[in-house]
Structure 1
Amino acid sequence: MTLVLLDTNAYLRLAKRIKPLLGIPFGQKGYVLTILKDVEDEVHRSARLQEYFPWFDDPPLQQERLAKRVRLSQDEKAQITAMKSVLRQHALAHAADYTTLGRSPPSPTDCFCLAFGQVRQAMVATDDLGMHKLAEDFELPVFHCHEVLKKMLTAKVIDKNLVAKIYRALEVNGDLPRSWVEVKHTAFKKVFGLKPKHAASHGERSEGW
């Protein structure tokens, strides 16, 4: 089994459309998706995220997150907290590296997710370029969220129509990351074809698509 931890942005981009999402092994490596309570707490602390994603606390999703939540021992919590501190201090000490090329400084929750990945030997899935930079600095394995989507498609957990719907929803809401755009006609050429198409105009944000 290969545990894949979804950070806040990765979970919010997938959870509304892919059901069930968490705790179901797929692919040859037995990827299993999960999130941490810290991610839930981050959403609950943010009025902006609650406004954009009002479905986050729908009972079925709450129940799924609770049932599939990873339990940490006291020793693991201590190790993760210590590693989180190291990651956070590094990011703050090299702030200039995390405010260029579309990056933003990793938050405490971001650092906790990466620390979890090291302690539990899990992959972290995120579209946050600052987290990718921090992971690179410490040689920690990370996925882009679109890579998770591709692995689910290859494993036939989802189909091409659902991939297209997810892309379209993110486009309409102005939430399609550049990294997703870059692979649209390569990794997902069987969905969108080989030739680049004109990007859809961004409409007004709907209720958390």
Structure 2
Amino acid sequence: MTLVLLDTNAYLRLAKRIKPLLGIRFGQKGYVLTILKDVEDEVHRSARLQEYFPWFDDPPLQQERLAKRVRLSRDEKAQITAMKSVLRQHALAHAADYTTLGRSPPSPTDCLCLAFGQVRQAIVATDDLGMHKLAEDFELPIFHCHEVLKKMLTAKAISKELVTDIYHALEVNGDLPRSWVEVKHTAFKKVFGLKPTLPAMESEAKAGSPQ
């Protein structure tokens, strides 16, 4: 089994439309998705997130999160706390590296997720570019959320239609990350097709222009 920890943004982008989402094994490596209680706490602390994602506390989702939550030993909790502190201090000490190229400084919850990944040998899934930078600095495995979607599609755990629905919903909500846009016609070319080339686009524009 390969544990994949969804951070807050990854969970919120997938949970409403992929049911069930957590605890289901898929793919040749036996990926299993989970989240931490701290993700729930982060949503509950944010009035903005609760306003944008009112479905978060729907009973079926609450029950799924509770049933599939990873249980940690006292020793694991201590190791995660220590690693979280190391990651947080590194991010603060190199703040300039986390405020360029679309990045934002990793929050305490972000650092906790990466610390969990290090201690439990899990892969963290996030669209947060600051977390990707921090993971890179410490050589920790990390996925973009669209990579999780692709692996689920390849494993036939979800359909092409569902991928289209998720992309469309994120576009409508103004929540489609640039990283998702960049792979739309490469990783998901079997869903969306190849991206039209510039000459082809120009030909189409000319054909549709009034004479």
TM-score by length of structure 1 reads 0.94
Counterparts of 1:152 and 1:133 in 2: how far apart (Å)?
A: 25
Cα separation, partners in 2 of 1:50 and 1:199, compared to 1, 3 Å:
farther
Cα separation, partners in 2 of 1:200 and 1:22, compared to 1, 3 Å:
farther
- Quote the RMSD (CA, aligned, Å): 5.9
Cα separation, partners in 2 of 1:3 and 1:101, compared to 1, 3 Å:
same
User: What's the CA shift string for 1:76-131, capped at 9, x where partnerless?
Assistant: 00000000000000000000000000000000000000000000000000000000
Cα separation, partners in 2 of 1:200 and 1:72, compared to 1, 3 Å:
farther
User: What's the CA shift string for 1:152-206, capped at 9, x where partnerless?
Assistant: 0000000100000000000000000000000000000010000249999999999
Counterparts of 1:34 and 1:28 in 2: how far apart (Å)?
A: 18
User: What's the CA shift string for 1:25-50, capped at 9, x where partnerless?
Assistant: 00000000000000000000000000
Cα separation, partners in 2 of 1:195 and 1:116, compared to 1, 3 Å:
same
> Rg larger in 1 or in 2?
2
Count of residue correspondences: 208
**Residues 6 and 35 in structure 1, CA contact (< 8 A), matched pair in contact too:** yes
Cα separation, partners in 2 of 1:149 and 1:108, compared to 1, 3 Å:
same
**Residues 173 and 203 in structure 1, CA contact (< 8 A), matched pair in contact too:** no
Cα separation, partners in 2 of 1:198 and 1:76, compared to 1, 3 Å:
farther
User: Which of 168-177 and 194-203 deviates more?
Assistant: 194-203
Cα separation, partners in 2 of 1:139 and 1:102, compared to 1, 3 Å:
same
Counterparts of 1:199 and 1:130 in 2: how far apart (Å)?
A: 36
User: Which of 144-153 and 188-197 deviates more?
Assistant: 188-197
- Listed as ranges, the gaps of 5+ residues in structure 1 are none
**Residues 185 and 195 in structure 1, CA contact (< 8 A), matched pair in contact too:** yes
Cα separation, partners in 2 of 1:196 and 1:27, compared to 1, 3 Å:
same
2:29 corresponds in structure 1 to: 29
User: What's the CA shift string for 1:32-70, capped at 9, x where partnerless?
Assistant: 000000000000000000000000000000000000000
Counterparts of 2:169 and 2:123 in 1: how far apart (Å)?
A: 26
